Amino acid sequence: MNTESGLPAEVVDAISANRKIQAIKTLRESRGLGLREAKEMVEAYIRENPNLSAHRRQESESGVGRLILIAVIAAAGYVAYRLLV
């Protein structure tokens, strides 16, 4: 199924998930395009949808926040363990 941009939904989903290479590969397979053509189409879609970069940045920042939270919890657990032993 194609989206309003004319790209297959799988390609748009891959772009939204910051998987540009997967988007290009999927587009090549679905349309029988060459590497250059598919790459240009994906990059044009990204340029025409600047809100994607803000969305990706927000996802990236939330991922870093989760890693920091996990590290803090692990450190607190280690300290608590050492105090009890």
**Angle 19-51-49 from CA coordinates, rounded to 5°:** 75
Residues 44 and 5 in one domain: yes
User: In terms of residue numbers, what domain contains 68?
Assistant: 53-85
Domain count, the chain: 2
Shared domain for 14 and 34, answered yes or no, is yes
Write the pLDDT tens digit of every residue in 3-60. 566 899 999 999 988 899 999 999 999 999 999 999 999 999 999 988 875 555 455 5
Please indicate, yes or no, whether residues 42 and 63 belong to a single structural domain of this protein: no
If asked whether residues 9 and 43 sit together in one domain, one would say: yes
In this structure, the answer to whether residues 1 and 41 fall within a common structural domain is yes
Report the alpha-carbon distance of residue 56 to residue 18 in Å, rounded. 7
| 85 and 72, same domain (yes or no) | yes
